[in-house]
Amino acid sequence: MRRIVLWGVLFVVIVGVTAGVTALLVNIMERKREAEEATRRLIEIAKTEPDPAVWGQNWPRQYAGYLRTQESKERTKYGGSVPYQKLDENPRLKRLFAGNPFSVDYKEERGHWWSLVDVKETKREPKAGTCMTCKSGNVSQFLEEAGSPAQFYATPFAQWAAKAQHGISCVDCHDAKTMNLRISRPAFLEAMQRRGIDISKATRQEMRTFVCAQCHVEYYFRGEGKYLVFPWDKGFTIDDIERFYDEYGFKDFVHAESGAPIIKIQHPEFELFTTGIHYQAGVSCADCHMPYKREGAIKISDHWVRSPLFNIAGSCLTCHRASEQELRERVERIQDRTYKLMVRAEEAIIAAIDAIKAAKEAGASDEALHEARLLHRRAQMRWDFISAENSMGFHSPQEAARILAEAIDYARQAELAAMRAWPARPTQ
Ligand code: HEC
Ligand code: HEC
Ligand code: HEC
Ligand code: HEC
């Protein structure tokens, strides 16, 4: 009897151990297979292949993440993926951009999949081929077809729009052969070259920011051929950019009410970011906007590029020891402060516009109004640097506050200068 029990126990132990070892082996094999799958290439991909679905045959996980950039139903307090009309939510913008197409249509941005759809639909009606540069995975093909960047830019937008099929895609950030990150847009290479920076020597961590800095930047179109230029010759701060534009004698439009020569600042995420603590600590755009995630045995970068506030655990808690709630509050505290200063700046600039208009109506000459208009330009460029930047100050909180404080000061100086510009009252 004893013996039978002993054999029984032994049998159960053997079966248990065997099952355990088998399960472990199956698990290891499964993970190995998955890991192999992740690096295996089913098809060759052409150098300028624009279609993300083709790349997706080799890398289905990244492709699935990319496809989710189509989702555009959720907002955060100051960002998110819903393309609402900013002009409806903030009527001050119409006056601030009077005389510029941004007073007609100014939507919140959304995911990369949408870029081509949105640029084709905007009522700002792009004319130059240059406007396609940041919007389509077909651009690498078009650059080859055109033969040179200058030719690509000088071709009418409508011509490229008729041929373009895809929004921002794999080819914009990756080399098809090696899958390394690559720079696909000439304006970034040219601007960095002028700063003495050789991109071919960039580290992998730097590239995780530089691929984004091909598009998430301030730019202007130079000359008749609308050549795309990033205004970085003197540096990345708004003061450096202003000195560059002043020397070059550039304006985007004349303000319809004040007559000031204004620069319309575009999304300078990269430039503002370079003045912040995360950049200085070596954190990259991808660290927060494309964090690693685990799928089975495999660690991949989340290709659902979006607001990190939708995924604080993945985006922030890798480095910060705090609760999600705590971090969200820290972000929103920074953003609330920035927003309040920003509204103050808008009100101050509108007061300046009113004062310049009133002086003009009272008969002030262009010469007398010169100083006030210059100050309006300085104020508006600074306010717009923070307003058009998409993080509501988060990418560099202290710099954002500094710039807005200067914007408010310049706007009030413009108002005073306009009052001084009134013609002398006739003596009785
Ligand atoms: C330390 C983390 C972090 C880094 C690094 C970072 N960002 Fe952000 N970014 C944020 C946060 C937080 C927001 C605010 C999101 C919101 O308000 O919903 C944001 C907002 C944005 C937005 C607007 C998103 C939206 O939903 O409207 C864009 C675009 C953006 N960042 C691009 C960049 C680029 C380009 C870089 C690198 C040059 C970068 N970010 C670096 C954290 C980061
Ligand atoms: C080829 C140009 C290009 C490159 C490269 C690029 N972006 Fe974008 N990005 C855009 C455009 C254009 C939009 C706005 C699309 C729209 O609203 O239709 C956008 C939108 C975004 C948004 C807003 C998404 C949302 O849901 O609101 C984030 C965040 C963002 N990009 C981050 C990044 C990061 C991080 C990188 C680098 C890893 C990067 N982008 C690289 C052009 C680019
Ligand atoms: C806006 C730029 C951007 C686009 C568009 C993009 N990627 Fe990536 N991808 C990255 C970044 C950044 C990394 C991280 C690279 C690193 O750390 O060296 C990455 C990493 C990868 C990797 C390496 C494994 C991993 O997940 O980290 C693969 C494979 C990949 N991407 C495939 C794709 C495919 C397929 C597409 C199109 C469906 C695509 N990517 C679109 C920026 C992009
Ligand atoms: C790759 C690591 C890394 C990631 C990811 C990261 N941070 Fe940080 N963060 C840092 C470092 C390093 C500092 C600087 C800390 C210091 O020097 O004391 C910092 C500082 C900060 C600060 C203080 C800023 C200031 O101006 O004092 C805030 C707030 C913050 N991070 C929020 C976030 C949020 C929100 C996210 C996610 C969207 C995030 N961080 C993602 C590394 C990271």
> E strands, 298-371, where?
298-301
What is the SS3 assignment for 299? strand
Measured by CA distance, the residue closest to atom 16 of ligand 1 is 79
Model confidence at 324, pLDDT cuts 50, 70, 90, reads: very high
CA distance 50 to 401: 40
pLDDT at 48: 98
Q: Are 69 and 198 in contact (CB under 8 A)?
A: no
CA distance 108 to 241: 24
Q: Are 146 and 152 in contact (CB under 8 A)?
A: yes
In short, whether 309's Cβ falls inside 6 Å of ligand 1 is yes
pLDDT at 41: 81
Q: Which pTM value belongs to this model?
A: 0.94
Q: Ligand 3: which residues within 6 Å by Cβ?
A: 52, 55-56, 59, 62-63, 66, 168-170, 172-174, 179, 181, 204, 208, 211, 286, 290, 300-301, 303
Q: Is the pLDDT of residue 203 over 80?
A: yes
Q: How many Cβ atoms sit within 10 Å of the Cβ of residue 100?
A: 17
Q: Are 229 and 192 in contact (CB under 8 A)?
A: no
CA distance 313 to 323: 9
- Per the prediction, the chain carries an average pLDDT of 94
Kindly give the number of the ligand 1 atom that is closest to the alpha carbon of 274.
Answer: 38
pLDDT at 410: 98
pLDDT at 299: 94
pLDDT at 2: 66
- Tokens at 44, concatenated: 């060759």
**CB under 8 Å to 299, separation ≥6 — which residues?**
292, 293
pLDDT at 7: 72
Summarize the confidence of residues 132-151 as an average pLDDT.
98
Q: Is the pLDDT of residue 54 over 80?
A: yes
Summarize the confidence of residues 70-88 as an average pLDDT.
96
Q: What percent of the chain has pLDDT over 90?
A: 88
Query: Which amino acid is residue 193, in one-letter code?
Result: Q
In short, whether 278's Cβ falls inside 6 Å of ligand 4 is yes
292-295 and 220-222 beta bridge pairing: unpaired
Model confidence at 19, pLDDT cuts 50, 70, 90, reads: confident
In short, whether 94's Cβ falls inside 6 Å of ligand 1 is no
pLDDT at 220: 97
